[in-house]
């Protein structure tokens, strides 16, 4: 539903949330010779804009945070169940930065680069894949922070255990920027001790 008044204002009432978004549209003076275009014509133009979908409902900050948090949490549940992972949320052009002094610390400019240089070699070093245990998830606007432990078994039979903090910047239900923190000493020892599984190195 919308209401029109002069100076021209369009009030969009979103139901069932009963949320009102008030947008003021400024028009230049529309002249036809020396006469103004009738108000009914202007009202008709606004109505056509609204029904064409040009008027977009604005989500509140709480709704954005709840949506993003739920999406990320679901991806961790899928990771635990072996049916998916948070990496499924990465946009193709995501930038993933590993902070610290680990052997893989740098910024990866795309999803493919990150998966090829970090995740695939990591998984190739594991006998039993990494599984997460979430300590907490926080959301602030379009940013989701995941604080979690993860553990698995390396190819040499020794456990790998680390604690992570991931910061995800979300847009359109995708991760467009990520920063990762973890224990670099634990990671480096594992990475240098265990050789990845290859066709010629299957044991």
Q: Is the peptide bond before 28 cis (omega within 30 degrees of 0)?
A: no
Q: How many degrees, rounded to 5, is the angle at CA 105 between CA 104 and CA 107?
A: 110
Residues 68 and 148 in one domain: yes
The structure's pTM equals 0.72
CATH number for 120: 3.10.450.50
Could you tell me if residue 201 is inside a domain?
no
Could you tell me if residue 203 is inside a domain?
no
pLDDT digits (tens, 9 = 90+) for 86-120: 999 999 999 999 999 999 999 999 999 999 999 99
Nearest-angstrom CA–CA distance, 146 and 161: 17
Q: State the residue range of the domain holding 13.
A: 2-51
Number of domains within the chain:
2
Nearest-angstrom CA–CA distance, 46 and 12: 12
Residue 59 phi/psi, 5° resolution?
Answer: -80, 145
Q: Which of 46-60, 110-124, 157-171, 186-200 has the lowest mean pLDDT?
A: 46-60
Residues 103 and 179 in one domain: yes
Residues 183 and 115 in one domain: yes
Residues 44 and 102 in one domain: no
pLDDT digits (tens, 9 = 90+) for 57-72: 688 999 999 999 999 9
């Amino acid at each position: 539903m919308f209401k029109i008044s002069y100076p021209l204002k369009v009030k969009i009432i979103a139901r069932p949330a009963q949320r009102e978004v008030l947008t003021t549209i400024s028009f230049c003076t529309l002249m036809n010779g020396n006469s103004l275009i009738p108000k009914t014509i202007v009202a008709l133009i606004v109505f056509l804009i609204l029904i064409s979908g040009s008027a977009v409902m604005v989500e509140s900050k709480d709704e954005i945070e709840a949506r993003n948090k739920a999406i990320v949490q679901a991806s961790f549940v899928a990771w635990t169940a072996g049916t998916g992972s948070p990496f499924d949320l990465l946009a193709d052009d995501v930038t993933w930065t590993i902070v610290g002094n680990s052997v893989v610390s740098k910024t990866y400019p795309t999803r493919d680069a990150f998966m090829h240089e970090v995740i695939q070699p990591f998984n190739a070093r594991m006998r039993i894949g990494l599984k997460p245990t979430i300590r907490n998830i926080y959301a602030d606007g379009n940013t989701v922070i995941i604080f979690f432990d993860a553990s698995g078994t390396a190819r040499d039979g020794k456990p790998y255990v680390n604690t992570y903090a991931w910061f995800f910047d979300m847009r359109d239900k995708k991760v467009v920027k990520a920063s990762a923190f973890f224990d670099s000493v634990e990671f480096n020892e594992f990475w240098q001790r265990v050789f990845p599984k290859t066709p010629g190195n299957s044991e």
